[in-house]
């Protein structure tokens, strides 16, 4: 497993990081986002969507569980598993997304950890101050080794 760490110091820089990540992703990739409420998981996803050419406004999928954005270079599936804490065994067809034609982003992945594929990217965002964030990437599996994630640091 490869691990990289960097810092962002504004909302805009977090979005720009998402755009750069988008350039390294391919259809079928799964990215799990970890971090406290309000730390910037959806902000990072918003930048990622923009990097994929998605024009629609990206909002947190907290109440819908999954938002689909299909107007980019590949579809983006944005999931929020927070509400599944009380019913993690509910079958919502995650395999169809994880093995599908798009990129899947999962916020609060700990609530569906048994569903997450072995090959995935884990991004942990930690609040250092009101504006500064520490972002740690962990590449699980060999799928991502030669994609250039080290160049983000």
pLDDT digits (tens, 9 = 90+) for 42-82: 999 999 999 999 999 887 766 668 899 999 999 999 998 87
Read off the pLDDT of each residue in 133-146 and give the average, rounded to a whole number.
Answer: 91
pTM: 0.91
The 10s digit of each residue's pLDDT in 91-130 is 567 888 898 899 999 998 998 888 899 999 999 999 999 9
pLDDT at residue 111 in the model: 86
Read off the pLDDT of each residue in 19-23 and give the average, rounded to a whole number.
Answer: 95
Residue 47 lies in a domain: yes
Residue 150 lies in a domain: no
Residue 116's SS3 state is: coil
Q: Check pLDDT > 60 for residue 90.
A: no
DSSP string, 57-115: PP---TTTSEEEE-SSSS-EEEEE-GGGGG-TT----HHHHHTSSSEEEEESGGGGTTT
pLDDT at residue 152 in the model: 84
User: If residue 137 lies in a helix (H) or strand (E), which one and from where to where?
Assistant: strand 133-140
pLDDT at residue 62 in the model: 63
Residue 151 lies in a domain: no
pLDDT at residue 87 in the model: 57
What is the residue range of 70's domain?
Answer: 2-86+100-141
The answer to whether residues 43 and 50 touch, using CB atoms and an 8 Å cutoff, is no
Question: Residue 104 is part of a domain; what is its CATH number?
Answer: 3.40.50.300
Beta bridge partners of 121: 31, 139
Residues 16 and 22: their CA atoms lie apart, in Å, by: 10
The total number of structural domains in the chain stands at 1
């Amino acid at each position: 497993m490869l691990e990289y760490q960097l810092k962002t110091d504004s909302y805009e820089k977090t979005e720009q990081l998402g755009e750069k990540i988008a350039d390294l992703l391919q259809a079928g990739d799964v990215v799990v986002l970890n971090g406290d409420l309000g730390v910037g998981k959806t902000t990072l996803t918003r930048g990622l969507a923009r990097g994929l050419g998605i024009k629609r406004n990206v909002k947190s999928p907290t109440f819908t569980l999954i938002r689909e954005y299909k107007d980019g270079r590949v579809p983006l599936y944005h999931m929020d598993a927070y509400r599944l804490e009380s019913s993690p065994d509910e079958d919502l067809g995650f395999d169809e997304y994880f093995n599908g034609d798009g990129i899947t982003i999962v916020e609060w992945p700990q609530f569906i950890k048994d569903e997450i594929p072995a090959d995935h990217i884990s991004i942990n965002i930690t609040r250092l101050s009101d504006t500064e964030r520490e972002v740690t990437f962990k590449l699980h599996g060999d799928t991502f080794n030669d994609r250039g994630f080290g160049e983000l640091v």
